[in-house]
Amino acid sequence: MLINCTECKNEISNKAKKCPQCGAPIPGWVDRLSDKSLSIIGLLVIGVFLFGLIWNFFLKSEIEISDEKIHYSLISDRYITFTAKNSGPKETYKYHIRIGDEILDRIFSQKYCEGTFVMKRDEERQMKIKCPDLNFTFTNYSVVVN
């Protein structure tokens, strides 16, 4: 493809490093973009950055789980309690329990006590999940909320 030299206006190849006529350096591809193209690219970059900020501060759902406790009874009153705090917008969350003494056991174990709950923005609540499927063969567990 032929382009015009910025100094002598002679037609030269766009692959040349300098003009064979006057020796002027050939501008890079960014320098050859029109002002309109550069403006559009700049607006796109700013738009993506602003979207990222808005997502991070206003739309991203964040739930924090703390104070996990498991409660056993000899017969059937088995449940797990935890505190959930939502710092994102109102959302419905799904939860389940994974059990096992080792982390890999919990990752690959089946899901117990599945359910959902709704939390509003900046709400903190103590959750009590009835879980009659729990047994006494494990000491560690994970509450998974997504």
Half-sphere exposure of 122 (CA within 13 A, CB side): 2
Instruction: Provide the residue-wise pLDDT of the chain in tens; the chain has 146 residues.
Output: 788 887 888 888 878 888 888 888 877 766 667 788 888 888 999 999 998 887 766 665 577 888 888 777 766 677 888 898 988 778 888 888 888 778 788 778 888 888 898 988 888 999 888 887 776 667 777 888 88
What pLDDT score does 47 carry? 94
Burial of 130: CB neighbours in 10 Å, binned 0-12, 13-18, 19+: middle
**Which regions of the chain carry the CATH code 2.60.40.10?**
63-145
Residues 35, 30: Cα–Cα separation, whole Å: 10
What pLDDT score does 46 carry? 95
Query: Beta partners for 99?
Result: 141
Q: Which region, left, alpha or beta, applies to residue 56 given φ > 0 means left and ψ of -120 to 50 means alpha? A: alpha
Report the CATH fold assignment for 63-145.
Answer: Immunoglobulin-like (2.60.40)
